[in-house]
Amino acid sequence: MSNSLFSVQDKTVVVTGALGQLGRQFSLSLLKGGAKVALIDIADDCKSLPAKFSDYFDKSRAIYVKSDVTSEASLQSALLDIEDKLGLPFGLINNAALDSPPNANSEDNGPFETFPLDSLEKTMGVNIIGVAKACQIFGSRMAEIGVGSIINIGSIYGMVSPDQSLYDYRRASGEKFYKPVSYSISKSAIYNLTRYLATYWSKNGVRVNTLTFGGVFNNQDNQFLTNYQAKVPLGRMANEDEYNGAVIFLLSQASSYMTGSNMVIDGGWTAW
């Protein structure tokens, strides 16, 4: 099969949450594949990026744009900057999100009965409103052009409920930790946003898909790793580079007949 089928050469791709663990991976993978990448994040600078990015910045294949996905004005400004420096957007990866990892502070991760609504609003503001706004700004431009691919990053906890027994060890030590309801609600909403936009923009040449991930290894504590991995048929968490192939696939001609779908890569978590 020709590599051209999976080509992202010279396509301008916008990655939100680009300074995060997976955002860096997606961005570097796309750059290595010949794409031009606009890295969007809310941080003041991109000093946290590995040195290997420098060459792409120097050759004007990548730019960093500070932008807040919850702000329409901020995203509009980012679009103008991207078009000026990299050209018209072809791809959008909605990766920016708020989560509560297993080592998070218990303050906003207590039982549902007392879960603070302001935390719910904050999470929804980034994880779903921010995604919708990014789709409005960048997706609308793609629809005007008549071509594009949007990837909304989902989670297994948008498909199934978190297994709260994974955190029994924290509660046994006196903490009141639960995987919060806010993350599940926000990630569940992604699926119908994807389906809505896939049908809405189908005649405009814009494809929209959800890419659902399982947990990614990030030096979590040993007890959490033991508990989590026992529930994964492949017996481990994902490595941070194991989703890059799916991103390339969904942005390339290899997935030209795929829209409104949910691609699940979770080591088998949701298979049983």
pLDDT of 140: 98
Could you tell me the two tokens for 230?
């026992």
Q: Across the 272 residues of the chain, what is the mean pLDDT of every consecutive 10-residue run?
A: 84 98 98 98 94 95 98 98 98 94 68 90 96 98 98 98 95 91 96 98 98 96 97 98 98 98 98 94
CA proximity to 117, closest of 15, 59, 163, 185: 185
Q: Furthest-apart CA pair in the chain: how many Å?
A: 57
Whole-model pTM: value is: 0.95
CA proximity to 187, closest of 69, 251, 94, 67: 94
pLDDT of 169: 95
3-state secondary structure 56-97: HHHCCCEEEEECCCCCHHHHHHHHHHHHHHCCCCCEEEECCC
Residue boundaries of the structural domains of the chain: 3-265
Sort residue 235 into left (φ over 0), alpha (ψ -120 to 50) or beta.
Answer: left
Task: State the CATH class of domain 3-265.
Answer: alpha beta
